[in-house]
Structure 1
């Protein structure tokens, strides 16, 4: 009995000494003396192997010291011992979260995030309300996806996919061409040619919203590349937005003055504008054009101007008065805007 009591007393003394060593380790850790902290926590572990807090504390120091492998080893020891001792599940979850963080710190490719994600998920199984593990899990999953996209990018393969798309385009197999251009974009999201070519396919198929989106992305990636302006103008031309068409072509020519397709587009646009201004359009075309014009807030504001309304009336009943008013450049500009929209017809 005396021997048992003596052993119990000695064990209790060792536990108290372990707590003292742990406190010294924590003080050293806070002061940035990591080597001393490691020594104190190691001493605490040797004196009391029934408290996983000392192992987890040393793991925290290793993490701070960027000794990630040592941190992970301590975390594994703490989890194994904690399960054996029936330790608090919150502490075990915290250890698993720390292990996941160590793996994240070492990650250099998408696969490196897999053990971190596994550790975070395991932490959540142990303690579902662990907000830190949940947030770190989401961060790791996002980082893994970013790496996967980065690893997937290959400009050489992108060029090969785009060339396959070009072959389908020449054969007028536009849907198949779109698939190849889409693969090219996945392999190199920064290639303006792939967006321009896909926009051309969408335009051929009448999917103008998609064509416009790709054309604008092309221009965003490379404002000097003519293809984006050409494809964007194709959509605007189809929608009979001739003012916008002209702006798009002019913007493209500012970057590529000698581009013949852009120059031809300007000529075609001017012809359409002149045709409409002469009234050389069908009643249906005129009605569509006027309806489109009325969607423009600027057009609607102009039509509320009493001076403009008087000029419009004079154009029908008192041409000389209208011509006098039209000498004012502001009025002239507004009337020209109405002419361009088909609201005012000049015979």
Structure 2
């Protein structure tokens, strides 16, 4: 082992003991003896990283890359130096520079570890962009533009403005409710339903969200689910005309065609699972023979929930 390598080995030993001043002194001596070996510089940069002197770490890594390029160093060593610069910028929360140097590292030598680091940084940048974009005033402006297009019957354009409003303010339930109305008009019921769910998740007391959800489910002919949505609206306001009307209409529709009720219920995976359960089948038989048995079974919350599901689906009725 030559003198420069001996100094590097001594530096490594000191580094492991976290004796950073000795490690730096050893690496500096190694560089004096052989200024063309980039690993002496990257090791020195590792010390600066541990000392939390991230700017110095970047500076020394850049020198290491320069030396490495001049002396045709292995591309894996160059990649490692770029990664260390990326790590330093990550510690400084300079996500943009971290991304640049992780990408440079990947262009030299692709590894799963660097790909993971790059993904993390890209996630941070995306979140920063999202936060920077939030502007409730502009969200309100976009909503108003959306409303004017909605009134004109141009639902596709209204939807675009509501979407922009949501990007500007993701916590306003009214925006999701408005966009759900557009989706309903455009017959994109699944998307409308998703927006209704988000709307009532943000504000469970937002009655319009529940009514809109009920209307969409009604349009999809999922009357039992629509009933549940209208019921939520009525829990908030027992005298709401729209909710009452929707509830009545769905009650009639849900029970008007027994064959349709059965077919719809049997296509529900939850109903199928309940009816496949031997214990539940036994309970349902008992209920037919002995109505009093129902009261005993309803004391068990699990069984009560299953019976409620069958009632909602219209498969059974309690008289």
In which range does the TM-score fall when normalised by the shorter chain?
0.7 to 0.9
Figure out how many residues of one structure are paired with residues of the other and give that number. 305
Q: 1:319 aligns to what?
A: none
Worse-matched range after superposition: 132-141 or 225-234 = 132-141
Q: 1:301 aligns to what?
A: 275
Deviation at 1:145?
Answer: 2.3
**Alpha-carbon distance change, 286 to 205 in structure 1, aligned in 2, over 3 angstroms:** farther
Render the CA deviation track for 1:27-53: whole Å, top value 9, x for unaligned.
Answer: 332222323322332232223212222
- Please report the RMSD computed on the Cα atoms of aligned residues, expressed in angstroms: 3.6
5+ residue gaps, structure 2, are: 298-303
Distance 1:339 1:106 in 2: 57
Aligned pairs for 1:6-17 within 5 A: 16=3
Among 142, 147, 157, which residue is 2:128 paired with? 147
Q: 1:224 aligns to what?
A: 205
Among 209, 217, 227, which residue is 2:190 paired with? 209
5+ residue gaps, structure 1, are: 1-11, 312-321
- Residue 28 of structure 1 contacts residue 36 of structure 1 at CA under 8 Å; is this kept in 2? yes
- Residue 224 of structure 2 contacts residue 254 of structure 2 at CA under 8 Å; is this kept in 1? no
Deviation at 1:79?
Answer: 0.8
Deviation at 1:274?
Answer: 4.8
**Alpha-carbon distance change, 276 to 224 in structure 1, aligned in 2, over 3 angstroms:** closer
4+ long deviations beyond 4 Å? 274-277, 285-290, 304-311, 324-331, 333-340
Distance 1:79 1:275 in 2: 74
- Residue 106 of structure 2 contacts residue 115 of structure 2 at CA under 8 Å; is this kept in 1? yes
**Alpha-carbon distance change, 243 to 56 in structure 1, aligned in 2, over 3 angstroms:** same
Q: 2:247 aligns to what?
A: 269
Distance 1:127 1:160 in 2: 48
Larger radius of gyration: 1
Among 122, 126, 133, which residue is 2:104 paired with? 122
Aligned pairs for 1:173-188 within 5 A: 173-188=154-169
The answer as to 2:319 corresponding to 1:341 is no
Distance 1:336 1:212 in 2: 21
Q: 1:19 aligns to what?
A: 5
Distance 2:222 2:147 in 1: 29
SS at match of 1:90: helix
**Alpha-carbon distance change, 131 to 310 in structure 1, aligned in 2, over 3 angstroms:** closer
Distance 2:200 2:283 in 1: 40
Distance 1:28 1:336 in 2: 69
Distance 1:230 1:51 in 2: 72
Distance 2:14 2:73 in 1: 26
SS at match of 1:86: coil
Distance 2:293 2:51 in 1: 77
The answer as to 2:233 corresponding to 1:233 is no
Distance 2:139 2:254 in 1: 44
Distance 2:212 2:219 in 1: 11
**Alpha-carbon distance change, 61 to 295 in structure 1, aligned in 2, over 3 angstroms:** same
- Residue 276 of structure 1 contacts residue 342 of structure 1 at CA under 8 Å; is this kept in 2? no
- Residue 31 of structure 2 contacts residue 40 of structure 2 at CA under 8 Å; is this kept in 1? yes
